[in-house]
Structure 1
Amino acid sequence: MPHPISDLVAPRILISRMSAIGDAILTLPVACCLREHFPDAYIAWVVESKAAPMVRGHQALDAVIEFQRGWFTSPRGVKEARAKLQEHRFEIAIDCQGNTKSALAGKLSGASRRIGFSGKHGGELSRFFNNERITPVFHHITDRSLELLTSFGIHHPRVSWDLPLDDEDRDWAKGYRNTIRTPSVAILNPGGTWPSKLWESDRFASTARYLADRYGYHSLVVWGSFEERLMAEEIVELSQGTATLAPNTTLQTLAALIETADLFVSGDTGPLHMSVAVGTPTIGLYGATRPGDSGPYEQAALQLQYEAGSRRHRRQASNRAMRAIGVEHVCAVIDDMHHVPVARAA
């Protein structure tokens, strides 16, 4: 029988969470919790390059191992991954994603104990690569990932994020915020990775006007891609001077900018979870995903309809379910946030 993990003083641990920016952020409490309970442990995170900026430099991590997307689809990629992982001599791998590539990374690492999910969250081939499986009770990604730490004897963990931001990015963000001459700033994020996650531009603009007229906010509209910039420009044009187009940002400067804001409104996408991680009051708008699974953790979420079906269908669907959310619904939540505690949804 192997020794209980809780008896180990300095275990060598690999966290495997590969791809989406938002999901990587939602998993950061795992790293924080492990560092709190095992201060002398060697803790690393294996991630694909897209989400790497959200974990690179995190104070709980000793190493971040980056792979390119598709690394596991060729014999050469698998061989190179094995060599890179085994340099670290991992004893324990934690598969927080529950699919083939995340579990395969744990297997390739050489870790003798590979912890993952059983049931529907242990998807694809992960159940064959992981040799200790936990059946989660909670639905939210953050809580579900933390449940994997019950194998370490950790129960009721404290949830913290410690998003890695450096002083230079924070100084830039504070300087930019100081150019906006209103006491309160809202950041509106109209972008999303799926068309079915997008709220209408005119509704964001109406929200900006309401925030200005009722509470004296000025809104800043952030963007990433060219298409998102076009949406952001339309919101600014329709806002009647109550919103401004944000400058171009990196993921790190975006997070730092969100940290300076007093409110963040967005669909289900990476910046929404950045906002939660930096402690900004957040309103999430949901249609093709469920806030119970990936909502803004312990913050406000709105969903009036759900685009049911497979992930592929939901990814390709229209934003019909998002259009069920009216401006009046968002403004009601804003009113609640300014007068009474919000009923949390996560």
Structure 2
Amino acid sequence: MKFDKKSVKKILVLRYRSIGDLVLCNPALETIRATFPGARIDFVVDEAFESLFYKNPNIDRSIPFSRGSKGEGKIKSLLRELRFILRIRAEKYDMVVDLHCGPRSAMLAWLSGARYRLGYPFRFRNRLFYNIHSPFDDGKTRPNDSHSVNNMVKILSPLDPAEPVEKNLFLTCRDEDRKFASDFLARNGVLPGETVMVIHPGASPDIRRLPVEKMGEVLRWLCNETIIKTVLAGTEAERDFIKQMQEIAGRERPVAIGFTLGQFAALLEAGDMFMGNDSGPVHMAAALKKPVVVFFGPGDPEVWAPWGTDAVVLRTARMECMPCSQYKVQCPYGGNHCMNRIPVEDIKNAVTSLMAKIPKLN
């Protein structure tokens, strides 16, 4: 299909989830905005993650997608999806850019009624549902050897895109969330001017977690031998893990559980450093320009390393099974073998090196 760039006045971008992917898609949004400066740009995102796009200058509107309530019947689910499709069709978009390229987003692109539909054709359905196919560098079925930021920007290559000068991440917080985070720290005895590290020990799947014994040992060192004030953050499902960390450390620290995504972002913004596993919160911290210590095991840092901030990526010496599927394959070594081989001393050295980059400590 011949592409007429001048005819594109209204664009829909699709990227439903998850936290890391959504934060990392901003350079692609920057590129779309630079390529079509006069166009309206709407963005479909799971409603659970919509706050990540608060005041994002590269979109005009976020459109939350609801996955329905727990126990929703098949008929209600089908009707909900149909209403959403009809809502999208009523907007009469000129072009859909699918940054997700999954079955749901590819189908929505096809049913949107848009003249141009762009995405990676790595499945038969995608070749059918898109009429502008993003090329791969070397004939692979999909890109997986470049950072996720670059992979999403590459989707736009058929559009003769205007490359942004910098591929920036973007995340900002609401004032009410900032106040919530400030009040939380004050209630927990953190004084203005003290250095705060937010630690997020969770990850999905669990095989990405640094073992609790190592997390607890690092927490004990932070509490006993540094001036850093630590805050432990996670979900309700990670409460027991966090409790075990504190028991190993022999110290109780403020625990941030049950925060909204916006409140958690504000907590990261209020802090000075972040430590965690290969997971979405790492990318939120990076978007807020916080120095990051991140642990990698089954995941690939070439694709998922923090972007655009001071970061120390820690992983064990390369094993022949790295990176692994982590979602579908039972680890032949048992559990998170690769994570367990990251030395605690390396973690201490990483934290110390990043402390030197925090102005208030120097």
Letter in 2 for 1:277: A
Deviation at 1:220, TM superposition (A): 0.6
Counterpart Cα distance in 2 of 1:340 and 1:221: 22
Task: Name the SS for the 1:135 alignment partner.
Answer: coil
1:229 partnered with 2:239: yes
Counterpart Cα distance in 1 of 2:147 and 2:170: 19
* Higher RCO (C-alpha under 8 Å, 6+ residues apart): 2
Letter in 1 for 2:83: E
Q: Deviations over 1:94-126 (max 9, x none)?
A: 1112222121121111111111124xxx34622
Equivalence for 1:202? 213
Task: Answer yes or no: is the 8 Å Cα contact 1:194–1:315 preserved in 2.
Answer: no
* Stretch moving more, 297-306 or 142-151: 297-306
Letter in 2 for 1:160: N
1:325 partnered with 2:335: no
Structure 2 CA distance for partners of 1:164 and 1:109, relative to 1, 3 Å: farther
Letter in 1 for 2:148: I
Structure 2 CA distance for partners of 1:155 and 1:315, relative to 1, 3 Å: farther
- 1:187-336 to 2 correspondences below 5 Å: 187-225=198-236, 227-241=237-251, 243-246=253-256, 248-298=258-308, 299-304=311-316, 305=319, 306=322, 308-309=324-325, 311-313=327-329, 318-336=335-353
Task: Answer yes or no: is the 8 Å Cα contact 1:28–1:161 preserved in 2.
Answer: yes
Counterpart Cα distance in 1 of 2:323 and 2:335: 9
Q: Deviations over 1:216-247 (max 9, x none)?
A: 1111100112x311111222233233733235
- 1:162-173 to 2 correspondences below 5 Å: 162-173=170-181
Query: In the alignment, which of 35, 57, 60 is matched to residue 58 of structure 2?
Result: 60
Deviation at 1:340, TM superposition (A): 8.1
Deviation at 1:78, TM superposition (A): 4.8
Counterpart Cα distance in 2 of 1:315 and 1:269: 19
1:149 partnered with 2:160: no
Deviation at 1:285, TM superposition (A): 1.2
Structure 2 CA distance for partners of 1:75 and 1:254, relative to 1, 3 Å: closer
Task: Name the SS for the 1:259 alignment partner.
Answer: helix
Equivalence for 2:93? 90
1:33 partnered with 2:41: no
Q: Count the aligned residue pairs.
A: 335
Letter in 2 for 1:65: I
Q: Deviations over 1:105-153 (max 9, x none)?
A: 21111111111124xxx34622221121223456221111112233333
Deviation at 1:29, TM superposition (A): 2.7
Structure 2 CA distance for partners of 1:273 and 1:124, relative to 1, 3 Å: farther
Structure 2 CA distance for partners of 1:314 and 1:152, relative to 1, 3 Å: farther
1:133 partnered with 2:154: no
Task: Answer yes or no: is the 8 Å Cα contact 1:189–1:223 preserved in 2.
Answer: yes
Q: RMSD in angstroms over aligned alpha carbons?
A: 3.0
Task: Answer yes or no: is the 8 Å Cα contact 1:99–1:123 preserved in 2.
Answer: no
* TM-score, reference length from structure 2: 0.81
Unpaired stretches in structure 1, ≥5 consecutive residues: 342-346
Deviation at 1:264, TM superposition (A): 0.7
1:43 partnered with 2:77: no
Counterpart Cα distance in 1 of 2:326 and 2:294: 22
Task: Name the SS for the 1:170 alignment partner.
Answer: helix
Deviation at 1:267, TM superposition (A): 1.1
Task: Answer yes or no: is the 8 Å Cα contact 1:81–1:105 preserved in 2.
Answer: no
Counterpart Cα distance in 1 of 2:347 and 2:277: 12
Equivalence for 2:82? 79
Structure 2 CA distance for partners of 1:34 and 1:296, relative to 1, 3 Å: same
Deviation at 1:286, TM superposition (A): 1.5
Deviation at 1:2, TM superposition (A): 4.2
Deviation at 1:322, TM superposition (A): 1.5
Task: Answer yes or no: is the 8 Å Cα contact 1:283–1:296 preserved in 2.
Answer: no
Task: Answer yes or no: is the 8 Å Cα contact 1:190–1:204 preserved in 2.
Answer: yes
Counterpart Cα distance in 1 of 2:124 and 2:279: 24
Structure 2 CA distance for partners of 1:80 and 1:235, relative to 1, 3 Å: same
Counterpart Cα distance in 2 of 1:310 and 1:208: 27
Equivalence for 2:142? none
* TM-score, reference length from structure 1: 0.85
